Amino acid sequence: MHIVVCIKQVPDSAQIRVHPVTNTIMRQGVPAIVNPYDLFALEEALRLKDQFGGKVTMLCMGPPQAEDALKKCISFGADDAVLVTDRAFAGADTLATSYALAAAVRQISREQKVDIVFTGKQTIDGDTAQVGPGIAKRLGLQLLTYVSRIAEVDIENDRITVERRAEGGVQVLRTAMPCLITMLEGTNEMRFAPLENMIHAARYPVRKWSKEAAGIEDITKIGLKGSPTVVSKVFGPTPRAEKALMQSVEDASPRDVTLNVIQKIFTQHPTLERDILAKATV
């Protein structure tokens, strides 16, 4: 079984700071990590490989530094890694990204037929959850999003059964491979790489593809040019005009403070009191 896992290198959003004056992201010094959601996809791919044998190829589109993210995936046990990197990709939105990644998957499948493409549910910087469906549509793959469990793989007949998270329940879906799966978070736990893998990964020569090497024919479909969405403005959340009405239990007894708060709330929002009276269990 040949599995391609798409990962993105993202700035660790927990450590991102916004310039208080210019409202621009201060990327400097913010560590880049493998998009955490993608690790669930990778772990699932590795489990399938453990079970059925085969090969896991990592795919990432990004700047040259994204090599580190791919190497990290090699340390977890992926077999090969391709970094699609070209200045022409800069400024890509999800439509252009999925075009480039779809081309690269096609190229990879020329080397060896691909059975499953995995992506994460979404990225923590883009947060769109659109790239996976986009790749699937472009490659004509069956699309399985928000997969919480892979129930069965029938290699002989190229069939796969999965559980897909939906609102209020789980859909059980069966489809034909090749397919594209976006994996739900929290579905598995990434393994801890043995030392040997760490050293192997540090040595691993990640393959770097330019747009030509990735087999991209139509350059109007990549990068900024291929992106229909236009970011017109970036700004910080506006603080609430008035600060909270503050009271401290140091200045008054907790009882007085809470009485005061309750009275204020109910005077300002009389319907709230009605709702509470209707529901409350005293």
Partner 1 sequence: MSEAEAKKPAARGGRNLELPEHLKAYKGVWVFIEHDRGVVHPVSWELLGEGRKLADTLGVSLAGVVMGGADEALDAIAKEAYTFGAESCYIVRDPVLKGYRNEPFTKGMTDLVNKYQPEIVLLGATTMGRDLAGSVATTLSTGLTADCTELRIDPATRALAATRPTFGGSLLCTIMTLAYRPQMATVRPRVMQMPDADPSRSGVIVEDRLAMIETDIVTKLLDFIADENNNKVNLAYADIIVSGGKGMKSPDNFKLVWELARVLGAEVGATRPVVQSGWVDAERQVGQTGKTVRPKLYIAAGISGAIQHRVGMEGADVIVAINTDANAPIFDFAHHGIVGNAMQVLPVLTETFREHIAMRSRKAA
Partner 2 sequence: MSEKFDVIVVGAGPSGNAAAYTAAKAGLSVLQIERGEYPGSKNVQGAILYANALEQIIPDFREDAPLERHIIEQRMWVLDEQSFVGTHFRSDDYNKPPYNRYTIIRAQFDKWFSSKVKEAGALVICETTVDSLLMDGDQVVGVRCDRQGGEVFADVVILADGVNSTLARKAGFHGEIEAKNVALAVKEILFMPQETIEARFNVKDEEGVVIEMFGKITDGLMGTGFLYTNRDSITLGVGCMLSDFKENPNRTAPYAMLEKMKAHPSIAPLIAGGEMKEYCAHLIPEGGFYAVPKVVGNGWMIVGDSGGFVNATHREGSNLAMTTGRLAAETAIAAKTAGKGFNAKALANYKAALDESFVMKDLHKYRDMPNVFHDNSQFFTTYPELVNRAAQTMLTVDGIDKKTKEKEIFSSFRKSRTLAGLAGDAFKLWRAFR
List the interface residues with partner 2, window 183-202 (CB under 8 A).
Answer: 192-196, 198-199, 201-202
Binding part of the chain for partner 1, among 45-53, 69-77, 106-114, 172-180 by CB under 8 A, reads: 172-180
Q: Which residues pair with 6 in a beta bridge?
A: 59
CB 160 to ligand AMP: min, Å? 18
Phi/psi at 50 (nearest 5 deg)? -55, -40
**Residue whose CB is less far from ligand AMP, 225 or 274:** 225
Q: Is 128 in the site for ligand FAD (CB under 6 A)?
A: no
CB 97 to ligand FAD: min, Å? 20
Binding part of the chain for partner 1, among 42-50, 62-70, 199-207, 270-278 by CB under 8 A, reads: 270-278
Q: Is 219 in the site for partner 2 (CB under 8 A)?
A: no
Tally of residues, the chain: 282
Query: Per-residue contact track with partner 1, 218 to 247, x per CB under 8 A?
Result: -----xxx-xxxxxxxxxxxxxx--xxxxx
Pick the closest to residue 7 from 91, 142, 97, 115 (CA basis).
Answer: 97
Pick the closest to residue 89 from 213, 227, 224 (CA basis).
Answer: 224
Contacts of 160 (CB under 8 A, 6+ apart): 116, 144, 150, 152, 153, 154, 174, 175, 176, 177, 179
Residue 26 class from Cβ within 10 Å (0-12 exposed, 13-18 middle, 19+ buried)? middle
Phi/psi at 41 (nearest 5 deg)? -70, -45
Q: How far apart are CA 78 and CA 56, in angstroms?
A: 5
Residue 20 binding partner per list ligand FAD, partner 2, ligand AMP, none, with a CB distance cut-off of 5 to 8 Å that depends on partner kind: partner 2
Query: Per-residue contact track with ligand AMP, 71 to 100, x per CB under 6 A?
Result: -----------------------x--x---
Q: Is 39 in the site for ligand FAD (CB under 6 A)?
A: no
User: Can you give the binding site for partner 2, defined by CB under 8 A?
Assistant: 17, 19-21, 26, 28-29, 31, 33, 192-196, 198-199, 201-203
